[in-house]
Structure formats: structure tokens, C-alpha cells
Amino acid sequence: MPRPFELDPLFRSVTTLPGVGPKTVKLFEKLLGSEKVLDLLFHAPIDFVDRRFSPPLVEAPNGKIATIEVRVEKVTPAPRRGLPTRVKCTDGTGSLDVVFFNANKDWIAKQMPVGEVVILSGKIEHYQGNKQMVHPDAIGKPSERASIETIEPIYGLTAGVTNKTMRKAMSGAIGLIPSLREWGDKDLIKKKDWPAWFGAMKALHDPESAADLSPAHPVRERLAYDEFLANQLALGLMRLKQRKLNGRAWPQKTELRQKILDALPFDLTGAQKRVIDEIDQDMQSPLRMLRLVQGDVGSGKTIVAAMAMMNAIENGAQAAIMAPTEILARQHAESFKPWLEAAGIEAVILTGRNKGKEREAIMSDIASGAAKVVIGTHALFQESIEFQDLGLAVVDEQHRFGVHQRLMLSDKGRGTDVLAMTATPIPRTLALTAYGDMEVSRIDEKPPGRKPIDTLLIPKEKVESVMSSLGKQIEQGSRVYWVCPLVEDSEVLDLEAAEARYDVLKDRFGDVVGLVHGRMKPAEKDEVMNAFARGDLKILVATTVIEVGVNVPEANIMVIEQAERFGLAQLHQLRGRVGRGAEKSFCFLVYAAGLSKTGKERLKTMRETEDGFVIAEKDLELRGGGEILGTRQSGMPTFKIADLAAHADSLAIARQETKLLLEKDADLETERGQALRTLLYLFEQDQAIKTLRAG
């Protein structure tokens, strides 16, 4: 089924709306992330101005917005540049100076002709005993009073787009909202007293009170439910498709596994054993495995993955593990090496570094099946790499990776099982919206012997004393990560901050200080990281490129400057880089004066707990779902109206409903099913509709 005809106007460009020309369209695109009318309609107001207050001038209070009918008496042009033009007006009860800076005198004469009656709306100010209005928001004829004396929604804007431009375009967009068939559950809508979608979209842009702007308002709740329903339905359909693609049942075999367990210097934790059992059950069933393993940094996910891989290999298939970066892929190769040697298994590593003949040789080993374990970056499944028989694909740091990539990945082999891993604890609600198509396991215990990390809050003024204490620590064999602040959204400024700190530390400690940042080439980055891992460097100054997966057990001190600028999940990830060795570890969170309430909460949480799952839930509460994992670049869904923290109930309802819907009408053929297809198109989940067609 192609996109329903009635949605077409919403998918046109905003250039079809009043007041949006070729110049403005770029600004709208910057603000909305697209130039579709639909995305403009989902841009909800953040405030409103009530222009219905219309007192006589004598009673007009200071600082309040009012709409007033006055006669223009006299125009006094600006005596010189930089001074204003003043227009004296009266309504019979009092007088008002209307003030314009840098205004064109012809324009003023046209807008406010002397002797005429006009309607003005703007803020009244009491100034030196007179009442004045500087640059009225609206000037019109008495016949236009009704269109001025309204409640005006206020929108989030970007430089170059005024609220007036936005309202003009929005008013055109609102006229295009179609009336669509109801896709929601009728009993639920009645019980919640929610408006129909059409009414809700109109009401969204017509707030009359502060309550109308609250996420708890029925209009916003209704629209959040629609968005969650589209999200859950899309994931549910993807999952059905995955399940229909025949998986394979791998009989349980334990010989290779036992060889690795015998070689391990530690016992597996209860949580690790539980998760291995869950994976084994998936692998023994004939359905595809799609499982996400969440575990904090250092909870031992890698060995769990190795156990799963042995099962596929012992059954004659291959296993692959993919990491988001080259450094991580090589680190996996290092950690797997002793285990694979114990089991007598051949592994190859393939990254962007392997070129020419060497690359061809590796690829031929993968294609022939000689390479039982293949380790590489995510490019492994996008490139023209052929496996002889890929039984299990392990994907590390899954949140960098969207649903569609998961589909591509499982197309690499016959019924390939997929095991995803992430060290970023994800709040339950976020996990449902991002991974509703996967089963989720949690490794929620730390391996024995892991020492707690002392987390200390240090005001910026005391950073000098932190530096003084480092000298002694380094002599005793410590290694230090020094993470520099995030500066706006600019890698250039991030780099300047890091270079400045690097110069200070280098002056003090000499050549044992190194620097890594996002603008370095991968090979340069690797070189510095390796020097730090070898111990040639003792202090590593870094922008946040070190947060995922870097493993240097000797590093036991982490300094994070301007810690208040980082999200909780990020702080937690960074702190997890230390505390991996035998020595006591410390994390110094350096903060600037004037901390916001949220900043204080964030740092307090870091001091109180090391439990990533607790931290993730707190992060969601403090920041809302959009920012948690830097959604933009991470394959995490971004919601236009729904707010994960505020609308968690609607998500639970949408999830429950999707389950029932797909049991009854998996092909969306019924009347409600057809309406739900429209909903999927509305939220651009077309991929899910393609799975319906592909069956």
C-alpha cells in the first residue's frame, strides 16, 4: 500500500506555506531537522501570550501586555542617530508614547497616520512618569481587532525566524491537517477523554492556559500515545519479520566452552551464568535470536559473548564480533586471544587498516570458513564480505546502531543469531522504544575483586591542588585520564580546551603527558592510546573519545573538568575507565561555580552510586529521553511530541496494545489495521510497512 493520498499535503515542503521563501526554508530546516510541513506541525508551542487584555490607558499596569485602541496625535522624529522616534497617542483616558528605534519614517507614516485610530498590542511600560510601548508586537486597523486580540502561541525559534514568521507558516500548515480514521483503541480514548487526532493537532497550537502546555494535558498525552503506538507497532512488525526468517536450533555443546572456563583465572558471577542460560535457550530454539545484553563497564559481557560464540562454532558455524571503532575491535582481539587459544580456535581481525593482498587473504579465510571467529568494525556486515556460514553475530555498543542496521546484519547468513551488547545502561522505557524488537538481558553484578571508585567533587578553584597530588601518584605507578570539557557543539573549541590543559600539564610533568581528540586520524589516536597502555605516557589528556571500551588496568585516576556539562550516562561511562586494576581508584569531578539545580543533582548522584542502572533512570528523569545517549547519532529514536519521562504510562499502554494487535491482525488487514498503516506512514515508519509486504 503506498502512502495514503490524504497525507500528501503533510509531506510537502514548507515552501508551500505563506511566508516561507527559498531563504527562510534553510532556517526552518535547521530548526525542524527537515523541511516537511509535518515536522512543522509537530513543533509544539512552548509558551503563549494573551493579547485579550484591553484596559483603558489610565488603568494599564506596568509590564503587562495589552491591546489598546488609540488615536495618533503627533510623530516626533528621532533627533539624531541612536535616539528613537516617538509617536504620541491617546484613547481619551490617558496618553501613550509609542517608541521606534531605527524605523523608516515613511513606514511609520503608513502604519500610524496622524489623526487615525489604530489598534496596538505590546508591553506597556511606565517610564519617567509616562506610559510607553516600545516596538508594538502588532499594529492594525480597528477592523483587524479580532485577529490581533487573541492568544498567541510562542514557539522555539532559530536565528532569522521570528515568531511572526513561524505563526504565519503554522497557520497555513494547520489548514492542511487532514481528518484521519481513528487508529487508537476506542474504549481507551473514551476512558481517557482524549480528543481525536485531528482535534488534538489543532488544539496543540492553540494553548489558552499554562495547563495546555503541560505534558500531562490530554492533548499532549493523546499525541504521545500515537507516537509511541507507531514506534511499538513498527518494532513489533520488524520482530515478526525477524522471527519468520527461519532461525536455526543449535544443540547445546560444551567441550570448547569448558576449555575456556578451565583457563579462566576467575569464576563467572551468578548474573553472567544467568545471561548465558538465557542465550543458550534462545540458541536452542529454532527461532532467530535477537538479544541485547546490558551490563555496566567491567561487568564481564565479553566472556558471555565468547561462551555464546563457542556454541555456534562447535556446531560447525562461524561467529563474528563487531565493534564501533578500530581501537575497540583490536581490544576485543586482545581480550579474546587467551580464550580462543585455550579452545584452539583460529580468529582473524579485519578493519580499515588491512589493505591489498593482506585484506584479500583475510577475506578468503572468512569465505572458506577457515576463520572461525571474525573480529572487526561494523563495516564487516556492510561491505562485500562473504561468510561461509555465519551462525552468530555479536554487535558491541549496540546503541550506535539502529533497527534497520540490525535487519541488514541478520541478512548476512542463514538465520544468523544476533547478540548485541552495550555498556551503556539504558532506562527501561528507553530500552522499550529502541529495542522493542529484542529480548533484553541484564548483567547486574560486578565481578569479584572490583574495588569501588572513590568519587570526589572538586570546585574549579582547587584544580591546582589536584595537579599537585598527581606527581606523587605517578611516581607510585598510577596512570591518569584527564578529560576536558565539552565546549558547545564544536570540535574546534573542544580541542582548544584540551590543548590548553595539555600545555599546562606538559609544562609541569614533561613528556609523560599525551593528548587524544576527535580530530586525530584513527592511526594517530591508536598510537597515543597504545603509548598510554604501555606506560610510556602517564597522563592522557582527552576529549570524550575515550569513553567507550578502552581498557588500561593501570589507570586508576580519572579527572573530569567541568563535569556539570556532561550527562550522567557519560560521566558514568568515563568513570568506568578506571577501577579495573588492583590499585584503589579515584574519580575527581571538577565543577564550576554557579551550578544549576540539575547540575547539583547529577553530581550528587555520581557521588552516591556506581550502579549504572540507577544512574540511567536518574538521567532520564533529569534530562528527558532525547539527550540520554546523544540520540541524534546513535540509532536511538527521537520523539517529536512524546516525552519518555513524562509519558511512560502511554508507552506501557502502546506496548500492551501492540501485542494484542499483532496477535489478532499481524498483516494489518482489518479496518483498524488500515488506519494503523496510516499511523505508521504519519510517523515515517515506512520500513515496517515494507516488512508487511515482504511478509
pLDDT tens for 141-191 read 999 898 888 888 999 988 888 888 999 999 999 999 999 999 999 999 999
Please check the confidence at residue 628 and state whether its pLDDT lies above 50. Answer: no
The predicted pLDDT at position 627 comes to 44
The predicted pLDDT at position 166 comes to 93
The predicted pLDDT at position 567 comes to 78
pLDDT per residue over 313-362, tens digit each?
A: 999 999 999 887 887 888 889 889 999 999 999 899 988 888 889 999 99
Please write down the HEC assignment for all residues of 219-257: HHHHHHHHHHHHHHHHHHHHHHHHHHCCCCCCCCCCHHH
The residue count of the chain comes to 695
Task: Return the ∠ at Cα 448 (arms to 443 and 453), rounded to 5°.
Answer: 90
Torsion of CA 606, 608, 613, 617, to 10 degrees: -70
| Average pLDDT across the chain, whole number | 86
Which stretches of 551-666 are assigned E, i.e. beta strand? 555-560, 585-591
Calpha distance 473→348 (Å, rounded): 39
What number of other Cβ atoms are within 10 A of residue 445's Cβ? Answer: 16
Calpha distance 303→394 (Å, rounded): 12
Reading across the β-sheet that carries 125-127, which strands appear in turn? 125-127, 130-134, 95-100, 85-90, 65-76, 117-123, 138-140
pLDDT per residue over 97-143, tens digit each?
A: 999 988 888 999 998 999 999 999 999 999 888 999 999 988 999 99
Local confidence band at 624 (pLDDT 50, 70, 90 cut-offs): low
Which stretches of 124-235 are assigned E, i.e. beta strand? 125-127, 130-134, 138-140, 151-154
Local confidence band at 551 (pLDDT 50, 70, 90 cut-offs): confident
Q: What is the mean pLDDT of residues 370-394?
A: 85
Instruction: Read off the C-alpha cell for 94.
Output: 490617558
Cα 165 to Cα 159, 168, 172, 190, 191: the distances in Å are 12, 5, 11, 37, 38
Q: What percent of the chain has pLDDT over 90?
A: 40
Local confidence band at 638 (pLDDT 50, 70, 90 cut-offs): confident
CB 233 within 8 A of CB 655: no
Please check the confidence at residue 209 and state whether its pLDDT lies above 70. Answer: yes
DSSP string, 282-344: HHHSSSPPEEEEEE-TTS-HHHHHHHHHHHHHHTT-EEEEEESSHHHHHHHHHHHHHHHHHHT
Please check the confidence at residue 406 and state whether its pLDDT lies above 70. Answer: no
Radius of gyration of the chain (CA): 31
DSSP string, 52-119: -----GGGPPTT-EEEEEEEEEEEE--SSTTSPEEEEEE-SS-EEEEEESS--HHHHHHHS-TT-EEE
What number of other Cβ atoms are within 10 A of residue 472's Cβ? Answer: 9
Q: What percent of the chain has pLDDT over 70?
A: 91
Please check the confidence at residue 382 and state whether its pLDDT lies above 70. Answer: no
Grid look-up 532569522 returns: 160
Cβ neighbors of 56 (< 8 A, separation 6 or more) are 91, 92, 93, 94
Q: What is the mean pLDDT of residues 552-576?
A: 85
Cα 164 to Cα 9, 29, 570: the distances in Å are 22, 17, 39
CB 571 within 8 A of CB 593: no
Instruction: Read off the C-alpha cell for 7.
Output: 497525507
Task: Return the ∠ at Cα 116 (arms to 114 and 120), rounded to 5°.
Answer: 100
pLDDT per residue over 271-284, tens digit each?
A: 999 999 999 999 99
Calpha distance 24→169 (Å, rounded): 11
Cα 544 to Cα 28, 74, 426: the distances in Å are 31, 62, 19
The predicted pLDDT at position 257 comes to 93
Calpha distance 300→269 (Å, rounded): 9
Local confidence band at 630 (pLDDT 50, 70, 90 cut-offs): very low
Torsion of CA 540, 546, 549, 551, to 10 degrees: 0
What number of other Cβ atoms are within 10 A of residue 604's Cβ? Answer: 12
CB 31 within 8 A of CB 161: yes
- The dihedral through the CA atoms of 665, 670, 676, 681 has a sign that is positive
The separation between CA 63 and the C-alpha centre of its own chain, rounded to angstroms, equals 39
Single-letter amino acid, residue 322: M
What is the C-alpha end-to-end distance of the chain, expressed in Å?
13
CB 313 within 8 A of CB 256: yes
Work out the angle between the directed axes of helices 648-664 and 671-682 (0-180°, nearest 10).
130
Q: What is the mean pLDDT of residues 245-269?
A: 88
Please check the confidence at residue 490 and state whether its pLDDT lies above 80. Answer: no
pTM above 0.95, yes or no: no
Q: Parallel, antiparallel, or unpaired: how do β-strands 347-350 and 373-377 relate? A: parallel
Calpha distance 682→10 (Å, rounded): 9
CB 91 within 8 A of CB 69: yes
The phi and psi torsions of 687 (rounded to 5 degrees) equal: -50, -40
Which of the pair, 337 or 525, is modelled with greater confidence?
A: 337
Q: Parallel, antiparallel, or unpaired: how do β-strands 47-50 and 138-140 relate? A: unpaired
Calpha distance 70→124 (Å, rounded): 14
Helix (H) / strand (E) element for 570: namely: helix 568-575
Instruction: Read off the C-alpha cell for 290.
Output: 535477537
Please check the confidence at residue 626 and state whether its pLDDT lies above 50. Answer: no
The predicted pLDDT at position 121 comes to 93
Cβ neighbors of 3 (< 8 A, separation 6 or more) are 11, 681, 686
Cα 249 to Cα 14, 312, 319, 373, 384: the distances in Å are 52, 10, 15, 20, 27
Domains parsed from the chain with CATH numbers: 5-48+161-212 (no CATH), 52-149 (2.40.50.140), 221-244+646-694 (no CATH), 255-443 (3.40.50.300), 453-609 (3.40.50.300)
The predicted pLDDT at position 695 comes to 44
